[in-house]
Amino acid sequence: MSAIDEARPVVTPSIQRRTRKMGAGSVGIEVLKYAVLFVLTASWLFPFYWMFTSAVKNDSQVYTIPPVLIPNPAYWNNFGDAWSKNNFNLFALNSIFRYALPATLLTVISSGIVAYGFARIRFPGRDILFFICLTQIMLPWQVTMVPLFITFKNLGWLNSYLPLVLPNAFGSAFFIFMLRQFFLTLPEELSDAARIDGASEFGILLRIILPLAVPALAVVALFRFLGAWNDFLGPLIYLNQEHMYPLALGIDRLRRNISATGNNELVYPYLMAVSTIVVTPILVLFFFAQRTFIEGISVTGIKG
C-alpha cells in the first residue's frame, strides 16, 4: 500500500449513510425555505394583482363568486375613463407641484443643515437640544393636530398648501436623527482639512458632506415624497375646495360622489383603476432608486 493510500481517510458505510442523511436534510431545509419565501412573496403581491385586475373588470366580474382572477373580457378603457372623467390631472398636479415636491425639497434642505450642526459643530447645549429634538419623534401628530389647526386658522392659512408645506422648512426630527447618524460615519479629517484650507462650515456641508451623503438624502427624499403623495388626513383638515385637492382626496371624492348619487356602476373598477395609476409611480421610483435607497438605509445609524 502506497503512502498516498495510507493518507486517505477511511470512509465507512455508516459515515456514508450519515453524509447522505445530512445532504438530504440540507436539501429539504432549502426547499422548505424557498417554499416559505414563495408563499410570503405571493401574499405580498396578491393585493397588487387584485387591484390591477379589478381595474379592468366590470361590475358583474367584480362581484362574482367565486372571484374572477383573470378578467375576460378586460376593460382597459377603465383607466382612461376613471382618470379623465373625474379631473385627476388637476389632482395629480396639486399633489406633485403644490405639495410633494416643495415639501420634499424643504425637508431635505432643512433636515440636512440641522443634522450637520448636531453632528459636526460643537456648541454649548448641543446634546440637550438634540435630546429635545428626539422627543418630537415620540409625539404623535394627532396630539398636535388641533393646536396646529387653530394656529394656522389664526394665521389665515386655511384652504391653502402653506400648513402642509411650510412646516417642512423647520426640519423633521426623524430625518434629522437619521442624517446625523450618517454624517457621523463620514471621516472627520475631511472637514478638518477643509477648515485648514479656509472653507466655511456651509462650504464644507455643501461641497464635501452633501455629495458623500447622497444615499441618505435619497432615503429622506423618498420617504418624504411618499408621505406627501399618500397624505390624506392633512389635506382633509386644511383644504375644502375641490380644485385644490391632491390625489388622496380626489380618490375619496370619487367614492363619495358616486355613492351620493346612488350610481354604483363601475364604482369598484374605477376606484381600483385610479388607485393603480396612483401607486405605479411610487413603485417605479423605488425600482430605479432601490440600490441608492438600500445603501442609505444600510449605512445610516452605524455610529452612535
Residue ranges of domains in the chain: 3-55, 80-299
> In the numeric block, which cell numbers belong to residue 292?
441608492
- The answer on pLDDT for 68 being more than 70 is yes
Q: How far is CA 49 from the centre of its chain?
A: 20
Q: Which residue has the higher pLDDT, 260 or 269?
A: 269
Q: Which residue has the higher pLDDT, 183 or 259?
A: 183
- For cell 362581484, name the residue: 63
- Residue of 249, 289, 245 whose CA lies nearest to 90: 245
Q: What is the pLDDT of residue 81?
A: 82
For the ranges 100-104, 256-260, 262-266, the one whose mean pLDDT is highest: 100-104
299 confidence band (pLDDT: 50, 70, 90): low
Question: At the top level of CATH, which class does the domain 80-299 belong to?
Answer: mainly alpha
Q: What is the pLDDT of residue 229?
A: 92
pLDDT (tens digit per residue) in 140-181: 888 889 999 999 999 999 999 999 999 999 988 999 998 998
Dihedral sign computed on CA atoms, order 93, 98, 100, 105: positive
- The answer on pLDDT for 258 being more than 70 is no
pTM for this predicted structure: 0.79
Q: From CA 146, how far away is CA 141, in angstroms rounded?
A: 10
Q: What is the pLDDT of residue 304?
A: 45
Q: Which residue has the higher pLDDT, 302 or 29?
A: 29
- The answer on pLDDT for 121 being more than 60 is yes
Flag the least confident range among 32-41, 74-83, 187-196, 295-304. 295-304
Q: What is the pLDDT of residue 46?
A: 87
Q: What is the pLDDT of residue 32?
A: 85
Q: What is the pLDDT of residue 257?
A: 67
